[in-house]
Amino acid sequence: MPVTTFASMILAVIAASGMTVWAIAEFGVIKVLPGLIALGLLARWGLTHVPGDDEPA
């Protein structure tokens, strides 16, 4: 993995955590938590295993 990609990934995680803390402080946990759960489920769905072309379905 190139250094710039790794650095961008680290900065994205830091920015996302900062935005999460800001949103919780601004709007409260009750309003932010459903969005965080939805993002987590979307990420879980997006990272599921997809069989290759040469594997049987």
Encode the chain in three state secondary structure: CCHHHHHHHHHHHHHHHHHHHHHHHHHCHHHHHHHHHHHHHHHHHHCCCCCCCCCCC
Q: Is the pTM of this model over 0.85?
A: no
With a CB cutoff of 8 Å and minimum separation 6, the contacts of 36 are: 20
Rounded to an integer, the average pLDDT of 45-51 is: 80
User: What does the pLDDT look like over 4-32, one tens digit per residue?
Assistant: 999 999 999 999 999 999 999 999 999 99
Tell me the pLDDT band of 38, cut-offs 50, 70 and 90: very high
**What is the reported pLDDT for 56?**
62
**What is the reported pLDDT for 50?**
72
**What is the reported pLDDT for 55?**
60
Nearest 5°: phi and psi at 28? 95, 155
